[in-house]
A and B are shown apart, each in its own frame.
Chain A
């Protein structure tokens, strides 16, 4: 058997723990109250369009984009705007959100709620981009980068290959896996829409070898769609990272220091995003819900749920049978890159791919030792930076040197911290360094 494709530099293989892989996507009940943060995407926070007392339906815009890199936000429920208040979100800080008291479940009339497959694409390239922009679609893989920006190819560049990210390399998470199995037909149409927008004639769906059912199913479907193919990849973390996936599939390397996938003729979209694009373009349906995995080793009913944006995590936890005894942490996202939540009122946002409940004995950090210069962190880093060095620089506050040593290249995958035998909080300090150096770069940029 020929060895499977993967990226060449670094990477780790943590236990997969895909407990909820066999659970069908269920629709979670509409919550009684939602808090929809106005900053759910990368870029500028949106500007609220509603005020206290306004009546909204599902799909009513509640906040509009406030810049090129920003996104529209729609109400995910029908009811009355209770308040525009500060709500603690995944960032750990209270941030502005539109709080809506739910009353019934009335949808905007323009939205097609039927589940029939609409294959014919009638919109032109520009209309597709406009529709995606209006519908507030952002990258649902976790980075929440506004999708319409990625559909516009800059002048002089060409998107030769569209890569669809069905890797889901984070342990535990299964939302993308289920989506591929249950919404395959819609995905194919979605891919076709993106190919029209990008004027690209080749699309490759990258899936890791641990999802043979999805590979088989989508390979079968792809036969009817010219230009679309499925590529099986070796299981390796962080293959779902944009740069790693491009390297794994095409062998091309995105240049460091601010290089974009389009520089090497590729554009990457997550399967969740593809479905959102399909719904926006074919069904006129804005992004108001997403698939969220709720899982954990001791969770009673792990599963995958279609959840309205803004639903408190509490509702999702209850659907999974409540918090098991001896739980230590509740994480939004996967175990490698996710963030621990500080309370259960935190709303599900566009970037929430999963909620993970970790037992107490596994949740504790191990005692920090000293760096023994073994170089393991360097060898697993998929981007070739030196985590041990950046850790020291960041700890010392030497931002100038940290910038020189490419701290901004770090993709925060956490492979270094996972592998460190001294259990150093490498990722914590890399994140701090990235935040601080990023701030300084922006300040310099603004000065010019």
Chain B
């Protein structure tokens, strides 16, 4: 009896010691030198693994940062300036000034502005609806309101307002990861700079039809009248395919109110811009 126990203990311990020594030798022999900074950088990242930086996950981003040795073009939109300052500190480089961005819905075709003409009862997501028809309002470029963007958002920043039928972006929660931009089958979202004091001005329309058909479906559609281009004479405002686009480099201070007031269909929206009709 004693013999059996003793031999078991000895043989199992023997196997254990043998395996341990093999593992030890292997870990020494096949050791991969890894920069300890990768772990440090990863430690300060938010670990949301959202892909907003352009890499598959936070670990990949940390590896890229350490490999590059500098922060050119590398930014974690979720962590923001604070997080990037810590990363810069670990890497021993200067902090890069990055402008905070926010997702903007370039459509204002609410139930009121673009009344429902038909009722859709197919598969309830934008992707499927987009493949089937123009939309309940008839606008072929407008928001379908079925919330693919809200589903794609990992930060709970987008909710579809049942009253207007349009999704709303919560500026404070949005980290500009770009998931909604990819999810929207009609490319309605755009990442734009949050702006100084959150002042922004943009064209809330994607309709490329001529004025009359565009206006038929939506009262706030851009009709490509060129008034915004003429009013500002700014290089950042342009009209293509009967659709105006205000570049992200627009001077909101001087041109903001002007742009908003000149638009005859109120297709240009401003956020936090005073002295204009939709402030």
List the interface of chain A (C-beta within 8 A of B).
Answer: 85-86, 88, 91-94, 339, 342-343, 364-365, 395, 397, 425, 428-429, 431-432, 435
Contacts and interface: CB of A to CB of B under 8 A. Distances in A.
Contacts of A342: 117-118, 133-134, 138
Interface string B43-66: 000000000000000000000000
Determine which residue in B118, B123, B140, B213 has the highest number of CB atoms from chain A within 10 A of its CB, and name it: B123
7 contacts: A88-B138, A91-B133, A92-B132, A342-B133, A364-B121, A428-B122, A432-B131
Contacts of A85: 213
Contacts of B134: 88, 92-94, 342
A298 to B, nearest CB: 19
Contacts of A364: 121
B127 interface: yes
A398 to B, nearest CB: 13
A365 B128 contact: no
A435 B132 CA distance: 10
A431 B134 CA distance: 16
B140 A93 contact: yes
Given A94-B134, A94-B213, A432 B118 contact: no
Nearest to B212: A85
Interface in B122-157: 122-123, 125, 127-128, 131-134, 138, 140
B128 A429 contact: yes
A330 to B, nearest CB: 10
Given A342-B133, A425-B128, 8 more contacts: A94-B209, A343-B138, A365-B121, A365-B122, A425-B122, A428-B128, A431-B132, A432-B123
A435 B118 CA distance: 23
Contact of B123 (A92, A343, A429, A435): A429
B260 to A, nearest CB: 29
A365 B121 CA distance: 7
A438 to B, nearest CB: 11
B131 A431 contact: yes
Nearest to B183: A397
A428 B130 CA distance: 11
Contacts of B121: 364-365
A440 to B, nearest CB: 14
Interface residues of B, number: 16
Contact of A86 (B122, B123, B133, B209): B209
Contacts of B122: 365, 425, 428
A93 B127 CA distance: 15
Contacts of B209: 86, 94
A435 B131 contact: yes
A61 B257 CA distance: 52
Contacts, number: 47
B140 A343 contact: no
Contact of B133 (A93, A397, A429): A93
Contacts of A397: 127
Nearest to A364: B121
A92 B128 contact: no
B51 to A, nearest CB: 14
Nearest to A343: B117
Contacts of A432: 123, 127-128, 131
A343 B131 CA distance: 18
A92 B133 contact: yes
Interface in B94-122: 117-118, 121-122
Contacts of A429: 123, 128
A349 to B, nearest CB: 16
Nearest to A425: B123
Contacts of B118: 342-343
Contacts of A93: 133-134, 140
Nearest to B118: A342
A345 to B, nearest CB: 11
A412 to B, nearest CB: 12
Contacts of B125: 395
Contacts of A86: 209, 213
Nearest to B133: A92
B123 to A, nearest CB: 4
Nearest to A431: B131
Contacts of A92: 132-134
A281 B96 CA distance: 74
A431 B140 CA distance: 19
Contacts of B133: 91-93, 342
Contacts of A365: 121-122
A91 B140 CA distance: 11
Contacts of B128: 425, 428-429, 431-432
A397 B182 CA distance: 12
Contacts of B117: 342-343
A419 B125 CA distance: 22
A86 B242 CA distance: 14
Nearest to A424: B123
Nearest to A92: B133
Contacts of A343: 117-118, 138
Contacts of A425: 122-123, 128
Contacts of B127: 397, 432
B277 to A, nearest CB: 30
Contacts of B213: 85-86, 94
A81 to B, nearest CB: 18
Contacts of B123: 425, 428-429, 432
A112 B195 CA distance: 71
A342 B140 CA distance: 12
Contacts of B131: 431-432, 435
A92 B139 CA distance: 10
A365 B122 CA distance: 8
Nearest to A435: B131
A85 B212 CA distance: 11
Determine which residue in B122, B132, B140, B209 has the highest number of CB atoms from chain A within 10 A of its CB, and name it: B132
Contacts of B140: 93-94
B61 to A, nearest CB: 23
Nearest to B217: A94
A288 to B, nearest CB: 27
Contacts of A428: 122-123, 128, 132
Nearest to B130: A432
Query: Lowest 7 A-B CB distances belong to which pairs?
Result: A92-B133, A428-B123, A425-B123, A342-B118, A432-B131, A432-B128, A365-B121
Nearest to B136: A342
